[in-house]
């Protein structure tokens, strides 16, 4: 409340018996508006200094074999092997999918900040690990019938995001790595093409199995690489899954372990597959409250960052933010959501470097992707 209002308020009380009741109501409403103004948060910077800090996270984890959480189904005693023997590239970072987006983090930071202090170390690691021989071993694992659902669909999505990043990188090393990775990329693309027509109902959760998240990353890959078949399939399935959705209960979120918002992940895929006019109409029925310039969504609060599940909520803050940034960048109607995104990032971003391994092995990727969306990278 400003000084003028503080001065006028006692006067209004002094003469209340003689003043117009409607004027008193207006004064009260004005005071309330002043008191509930949305706090402004600065957008996070994404500079060489930040890149030099963020690159430490994937550099540390992609080569850290243990602790490791295997996600496969064992067929016999012969499958009881060290993860590195079947995943010679993606054996670190606690689990397969986190290792994949650890490599994505290295590639995208290298593209944007080739002058990073450890750029040469990153290039050497990429060249050493993403070889045709290592990819062949990774691909062979996926070809086994018992592993047909391995990493469906979260890990699949991140593998395509890595492939997309290599495809967009104008560098001789990128051409070599993209070509080396292609046998595994092709398997994942085929997995999506086989699975999506059979998925009768989308999976609406706040963790790995979320369908909308996977569709978004796979769609971006298809657009970037010109895979029209995959693009059209995702367009068709996304509309079938989500076009008739209304009044998404975002106030029910988050669940205790969420790192994705079921409501907002739908927004992210639908803003890609619908025309601008269609999307605005869809949003008016799906999440109409987001158009309110005073809309606020409380950040996900983390009570214990040493708990691998509870720290998921830092990831939720980043993933919410990248959806808000995407909306803000694309549609003037949602420009105000950038401030809400900033608030979410500012809550979780300072905890990344030096965090416990429970969050450090994967949250860097979420932060980098969020900053990429903010800055239209």
Task: Give pLDDT tens digits for 221-256.
Answer: 999 999 999 999 999 999 999 999 999 999 999 999
Q: Which of 13-17, 194-198, 212-216, 308-312 has the lowest average pLDDT?
A: 13-17
Question: Which letter does DSSP use for residue 44 in this model?
Answer: P
Band the pLDDT of 31: cuts 50, 70, 90. Answer: very low
DSSP of 146-176: GGTTTTTTHHHHHHHHHHHHHHH--SHHHHH
Place of tokens 């003689």: 18
- Measured CA to CA, the distance from residue 201 to residue 216 in angstroms comes to 16
Give pLDDT, residue 15: 28
Confidence of residue 356 (pLDDT cuts 50, 70, 90): confident
Label residue 38 by pLDDT band (50, 70, 90). Answer: confident
As given in the structure block, the two tokens for residue 58 are 């994937």
Residue 16 pLDDT class (50, 70, 90 cuts): very low
pLDDT band at 357 (very low <50, low <70, confident <90, very high): confident
Gap between the Cα atoms of 234 and 240, Å rounded:
10
Phi-psi region of 94 (alpha: psi -120 to 50; beta: other; left: phi over 0): left
Write down the pLDDT at residue 4.
34
pLDDT in tens, 343-355: 999 999 998 866 6
Q: Give the closest residue to 368 by CA, choosing from 63, 42, 47.
A: 47
Which pLDDT belongs to residue 358?
76
Give 92-151 pLDDT, tens digit per residue.
Answer: 999 999 999 999 999 999 999 999 999 999 999 999 999 999 999 999 999 999 999 999
Q: Which long-range contacts (CB under 8 A, 24 or more apart) does 304-310 make?
A: 305/351, 305/355, 305/356, 305/358, 305/359, 306/356, 306/358, 307/358, 308/358, 308/359, 309/256, 309/257, 310/256, 310/257
Mean pLDDT of 264-284: 98
pLDDT tops 80 at residue 162: yes
pLDDT of 359 reads 73
Q: Please report, for the chain, the start and end positions of each structural domain, with discontinuous segments joined by +.
A: 41-73+80-374
For residue 36, the model assigns a pLDDT of 53
Decide which of 1.50.10, 1.20.1050, 1.20.120, 1.10.287 is the CATH code for 41-73+80-374: 1.50.10
pLDDT at site 34: 39
303, pLDDT greater than 50:
yes
What's the number of CA atoms in the CB half-sphere (13 Å) around residue 308? 10
**What was the pLDDT predicted at 141?**
97
Q: What is the pLDDT of residue 11?
A: 31
Whole-number Cα distances in Å, 180 to 5, 57, 101, 122, 133: 68, 24, 17, 17, 8
Q: What percent of the chain has pLDDT over 70?
A: 89
The Cα–Cα gap between 82 and 68 comes to: 10
- Looking at the whole model, is its pTM more than 0.95? no
Spatial distance between the Cα atoms of 212 and 311, rounded to a whole number of angstroms? 22
């Amino acid at each position: 409340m400003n000084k003028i209002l503080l001065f006028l308020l006692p006067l209004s009380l002094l003469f209340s018996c003689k003043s117009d009741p409607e004027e008193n109501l207006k004064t009260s409403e004005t005071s309330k508006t002043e008191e509930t103004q949305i706090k402004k948060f600065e957008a996070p910077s994404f500079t060489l200094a930040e890149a030099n800090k963020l690159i430490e996270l994937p550099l540390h984890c992609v080569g850290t074999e243990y602790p490791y959480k295997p996600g496969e189904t064992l067929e016999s005693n012969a499958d009881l092997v060290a993860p590195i023997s079947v995943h010679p590239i993606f054996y670190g970072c606690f689990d397969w999918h986190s290792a994949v987006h650890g490599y994505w983090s290295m590639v995208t930071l290298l593209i944007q900040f080739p002058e990073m202090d450890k750029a040469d170390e990153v290039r050497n690691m990429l060249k050493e690990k993403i070889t045709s021989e290592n990819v062949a071993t990774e691909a062979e694992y996926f070809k086994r019938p018992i592993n047909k659902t391995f990493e469906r669909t979260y890990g699949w999505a991140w593998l395509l995001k890595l492939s997309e990043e290599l495809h967009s990188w104008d560098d001789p090393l990128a051409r070599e790595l993209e070509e080396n990775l292609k046998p595994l990329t092709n398997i994942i693309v085929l997995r999506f093409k086989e699975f999506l027509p059979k998925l009768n109902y989308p999976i609406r959760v706040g963790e790995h199995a979320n369908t909308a998240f996977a569709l978004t990353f796979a769609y971006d890959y298809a657009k970037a690489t010109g895979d029209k078949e995959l693009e059209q399939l995702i367009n068709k399935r996304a509309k079938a899954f989500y076009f008739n959705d209304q009044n998404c209960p975002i106030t029910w979120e988050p669940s205790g372990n969420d790192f994705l918002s079921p409501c907002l992940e739908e927004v992210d895929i639908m803003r890609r597959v619908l025309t601008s006019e269609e999307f605005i109409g869809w949003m008016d029925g799906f999440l109409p409250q987001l158009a309110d310039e005073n809309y606020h969504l409380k950040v996900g609060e983390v009570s214990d960052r040493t708990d691998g599940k509870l720290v998921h909520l830092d990831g939720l803050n980043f993933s919410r933010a990248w959806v808000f940034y995407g909306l803000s960048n694309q549609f003037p109607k949602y420009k105000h959501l950038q401030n809400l995104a900033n608030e979410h990032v500012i809550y979780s971003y300072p905890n990344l470097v030096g965090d416990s391994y429970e969050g450090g092995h994967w949250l860097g990727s979420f932060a980098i992707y969020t900053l990429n969306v903010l800055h239209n990278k």
